[in-house]
């Protein structure tokens, strides 16, 4: 079980990286289509938390990109405890958690990219980016789990593990049926035997009566 947990976590982190890649592409498309630069939220968070500001704009961009990838990859780990939740509730819960975490992340920035200082259009676009992240990460996680656990009999396609209950129920049913069949055969045999005995007694009585006559 420990090995399965480690593999699940590794797969979740890989799924988080896939989601981050998709989100990065989505953000890049937005910038190109709308011809605008996105705020470097991650860099602002790092500066507010550490109190250290980057000397150059290139430095802020590098810091923001690094933290963006680390944060997005690590966030994929949230898929592991959600394995037991059925769809679509699992995906919706993950999306809500991801978007809520994103809002909290941006609130720490406390600059022009903080949620309270952004337009409704920007907030809507940000939700779409998080939707892309959550959807990609979930699909990647499910696909990788199916690929890596396909040979594991205890893993099913719903993302959980079976406990062998079906095997146990099957064995009980088989034993019960077999027992019933044996009992039925024994009862039938006894009845037939009794009938045969009755027939023999009647025949003997008839012979005695004919001899006396």
The string of pLDDT tens digits covering residues 93-127 is 999 999 998 888 777 765 555 666 777 888 888 89
Number of other CB atoms surrounding residue 43 within 10 Å = 25
Distant-in-sequence, close-in-space partners of 113: CB < 8 Å, separation ≥ 6: 39, 40, 41, 44, 106
Q: In this structure, are residues 77 and 9 in contact, taking their beta carbons and an 8 Å threshold?
A: yes
Domain span at residue 140 reads 2-148
Structure confidence at residue 4 (pLDDT): 84
Q: For residue 154, is it within any domain?
A: no
Structure confidence at residue 90 (pLDDT): 92
d(CA 211, CA 213): 5
> Phi and psi (nearest 5°) for 91?
-65, -40
Q: In this structure, are residues 140 and 15 in contact, taking their beta carbons and an 8 Å threshold?
A: yes
- Helix (H) or strand (E) holding 186, with range, is helix 165-212
Give the residue carrying structure tokens 């920035």: 109
Q: Quick: pLDDT tens for 3-56.
A: 888 999 999 999 999 999 999 999 899 888 888 776 666 777 777 666 677 777
Q: For residue 67, is it within any domain?
A: yes
Structure confidence at residue 182 (pLDDT): 39
Q: Which is nearest to 39 in space by CA: 134, 144, 114? A: 114
Q: For residue 137, is it within any domain?
A: yes
Q: For residue 190, is it within any domain?
A: no
Structure confidence at residue 109 (pLDDT): 66
Q: Quick: pLDDT tens for 154-177.
A: 555 444 544 444 433 334 433 333
Structure confidence at residue 193 (pLDDT): 40
pTM, full prediction: 0.66
Q: For residue 177, is it within any domain?
A: no
Give the residue carrying structure tokens 């035997």: 193
Structure confidence at residue 165 (pLDDT): 42
Residue 209 is encoded by which pair of tokens? 């009566």
Q: For residue 129, is it within any domain?
A: yes
Total number of domains constituting the chain: 1
Q: For residue 97, is it within any domain?
A: yes
Q: Quick: pLDDT tens for 132-151.
A: 999 999 999 999 999 988 76
Q: For residue 160, is it within any domain?
A: no
For residue 61, pLDDT over 90 is answered with no
For residue 79, pLDDT over 70 is answered with yes
Q: In this structure, are residues 56 and 40 in contact, taking their beta carbons and an 8 Å threshold?
A: no
For residue 209, pLDDT over 60 is answered with no
């Amino acid at each position: 079980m420990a090995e399965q947990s480690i593999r699940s976590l590794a797969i979740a982190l890989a799924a988080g990286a896939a989601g981050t890649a998709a989100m990065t592409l989505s953000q890049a498309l937005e910038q190109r289509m709308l011809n605008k630069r996105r705020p470097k939220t991650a860099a602002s968070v790092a500066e507010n938390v550490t109190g250290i500001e980057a000397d150059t704009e290139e430095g802020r961009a590098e810091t923001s990109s690094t933290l963006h990838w680390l944060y997005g990859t690590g966030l994929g780990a949230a898929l592991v405890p959600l394995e037991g939740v059925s769809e679509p509730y699992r995906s919706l819960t993950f999306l809500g958690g991801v978007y809520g975490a994103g809002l909290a992340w941006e609130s720490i920035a406390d600059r022009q990219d903080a949620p309270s200082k952004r337009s409704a259009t920007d907030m809507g676009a940000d939700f779409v980016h998080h939707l892309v992240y959550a959807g990609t990460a979930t699909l990647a996680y499910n696909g990788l789990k199916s690929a890596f656990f396909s040979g594991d009999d205890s893993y099913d396609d719903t993302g959980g593990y079976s406990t062998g209950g079906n095997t146990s129920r099957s064995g009980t049913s088989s034993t019960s049926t077999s027992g019933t069949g044996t009992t039925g055969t024994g009862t039938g045999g006894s009845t037939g035997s009794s009938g045969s005995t009755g027939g023999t007694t009647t025949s003997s009585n008839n012979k005695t009566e004919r001899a006396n006559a």
